[in-house]
A = this chain, B = another copy of it.
Amino acid sequence: MKSFFLATVAAATLLATLPAAAQFQKPEDAVKYRKAGMFMMNTHMGRLAAMAQGRVPFDGAAAAASGEALGHLSLLPYLAFIDSNSGAEPSRAKANIWTERAKFDAAAKKLQEEAAKLAVAAKANNPEALKAAFGATAGACKACHDDFRNP
């Protein structure tokens, strides 16, 4: 359990050292990349939501797999929010991402921390542990979406 968390933190540290704007050949590729990561996270959050809310039976293996995926995926999209949006690829990102960058980065970091905890909790084969960690992660998603994503 601990090893995954440490690996997660190490990866986040590495990502934070990269010059973000240099990572994408075209601006629209950055938008596509972050949308891809968000779609994959949404898929796994949807699976966990169904279990956490009792709409489907708790499945320990499925919960663990989706938690693990979220721990990894949460590290990836944020450095793809480079300087601005691209007109070539539609995006719901709000312009205040770039005018309130420190606040955005803190919100992204909060999500990464909650997702790392969720990855651990989801392996416990315990519906209540999953529910608590899922709720905290979903709250971190929503807080950032409320401030930085268009409806």
Contact = CB atoms under 8 A, between A and B. Distances in A.
A29 B43 contact: yes
A72 B39 CA distance: 16
A132 interface: no
Interface in A1-43: 3-4, 6-7, 11, 14-15, 17-18, 23-25, 29, 32-33, 35-37, 39-40, 43
* This chain's copy number in the assembly: 2
Contacts of A76: 40, 69, 73
A46 interface: yes
Contacts of A64: 14
A65 to B, nearest CB: 4
Nearest to A2: B3
Nearest to A30: B43
Contact of A40 (B4, B36, B61): B36
Interface in A55-100: 61-62, 64-65, 68-69, 72-73, 75-76
